[in-house]
Amino acid sequence: MKKFFAKISNCLSNERGEGAFLDVVIIAVVIVVIGCLLMALMKQLYSETVFPKFKEYIENLFGFANSYAAGVGSGVVIS
């Protein structure tokens, strides 16, 4: 038990400016900020380039390209 208290006392009296907790917090904040920036960049990239091409591909695949403008495919059956 004395060794435990000696370790705690040594850690608390240490004035080297080196703290594991502060280092971890700073690294975590930097990682979160970089992650947010990367996510914003990917969202911008995908919303401008990938999603319109994907939407066009799906519309062409199922033949929905201009059917909504003409009223076809709206679920209304005219007999």
**Predicted TM-score (pTM) of this structure:** 0.45
Residue 1 CA neighbour count, 13 Å, CB half: 0
Instruction: Quote the pLDDT of residue 8.
Output: 78
What is d(CA 32, CA 42) in angstroms, rounded to the nearest whole number? 15
> What gap in Å lies between CA 69 and CA 76, rounded to an integer?
14
**Predicted confidence band at 75 (pLDDT cuts at 50, 70, 90)?**
low
Banded pLDDT at 16 (limits 50, 70, 90): low
Residue 13, pLDDT > 60, answer: yes
Residue 30 is predicted with a pLDDT of 96
In contact, 74 and 68? CB cutoff 8 Å: yes
Q: What is the pLDDT of residue 32?
A: 97
CA distances 15 to 2, 8, 9, 25, Å, are 22, 13, 12, 19
